Amino acid sequence: MNNILITSAGKRVTLVEQFKRNLDIYFPDSKVMTTDMNPDMAPACIVSDRSFKVPRVDDKDYITILLNLCMKNGVKIVIPTIDTELQLLADNKELFREYGIEILVSGSDFISLCRDKRNTNDFFTEREIRIPKPVDKANPTYPFFAKPYDGSLSKDLFIVKSEEEYIEKIRLNPKLIFMEYIDKSVYKEFTVDMYYGKDNRVKSIVPRERLEIRAGEINKGITRKNFLIEYLFERMNHIAGVIGCICIQLFYKEDDNDIVAIEINPRFGGGYPLSYHAGANYPEYIIREYLLNESIVYNDEWKDNTLFLRYDQEVVVYAE
């Protein structure tokens, strides 16, 4: 069987459905499965073909449990979805590969780079991509922005506009890095979905303008074929060890093409379904590369100005 397993599936209903739709085209007898700590309460697990309960990713037996689960259920591809599992899965890619299972996560070095925003900044700088200017925490200029160097899910982010707002909680937090504040009334905020093939070369670049954000994820957005595509292709065409979907967060000022990169998430982002609906079909790319052993070529034939308006929808389970 050529089954696919999406880990920590949670609320990623649309991503599960997109993989199911594409897998059915090529392997109609195969299944898209999911894991979660509490699959009975995870909507994505309910809509998947089969789900499994697993412990926390920091459990000492997590890898053994996940590997056995894959072997017993004909899983050939594992798709991680949350930041906290990426390093562990990257470190164990070769172990799974010995059993014919491919974990769709980039190499350990790149994952480590993405987890520490200080290293991410060095990566951008080496590729001549501008980052926010650093701010001296002992003698700051206002306004400035502070965030954890290892944070995710938009937690512990601070915009400090004056000395009165520079409170002890911010000043003494050893994990915060201080930087130039990027004015969203001047810059547009983008997430760019990028797909990298087995050869570590980019095959797709889709800028998504973030029109409205809720809980750190896009709520309203639109695809834009703009300067960002050639800019990122020129600087990030090949990255050693990078495969599958990654997404880059940045700010873009159209009048002078000033671009300020913020971070890299080396996984499917919460807003990826917009790129899918625009025609950038990364689940299909994964199936063709890793189950059919096909080569993927660069493709920019996705639809510009595809508007994405997200809303809440229920998954209802009736007692039998």
Domains of the chain: 3-105 (3.40.50.20), 111-128+185-309 (3.30.470.20), 144-180 (no CATH)
3-state secondary structure of 114: helix
**E-assigned strands of the chain?**
3-6, 32-36, 50-53, 75-79, 102-103, 144-148, 158-160, 176-180, 188-196, 202-214, 217-223, 244-253, 258-265, 307-309
- Cβ atoms of residues 215 and 209 within 8 Å: no
Residues of the chain with pLDDT under 70: 151-154
pLDDT of residue 65: 98
pLDDT of residue 319: 86
Q: What is the pLDDT of residues 5-52, one digit of tens each?
A: 999 999 999 999 999 999 999 999 999 999 999 999 999 999 999 999
pLDDT of residue 137: 87
Q: Please state the pTM of the whole predicted model.
A: 0.93
Which residue has tokens 């997590």?
Answer: 62
pLDDT of residue 172: 87
- Cβ atoms of residues 7 and 84 within 8 Å: no
pLDDT of residue 154: 60
From CA 84, how far away is CA 102, in angstroms rounded? 19
- Residue 115 phi/psi, 5° resolution? -70, -25
From CA 155, how far away is CA 158, in angstroms rounded? 9
Q: Quote the tokens at residue 117.
A: 């925003």
Nearest Cα neighbor of 69 from 120, 9, 6, 151 is 6
Residue 46 CB burial class (10 angstroms; 0-12, 13-18, ≥19)? middle
Query: Which residues 6+ apart lie within 8 Å of 286 measured at CB?
Result: 77, 79, 104, 244
Query: Which residues 6+ apart lie within 8 Å of 162 measured at CB?
Result: 142, 143
pLDDT of residue 117: 87
Residue 97 CB burial class (10 angstroms; 0-12, 13-18, ≥19)? exposed
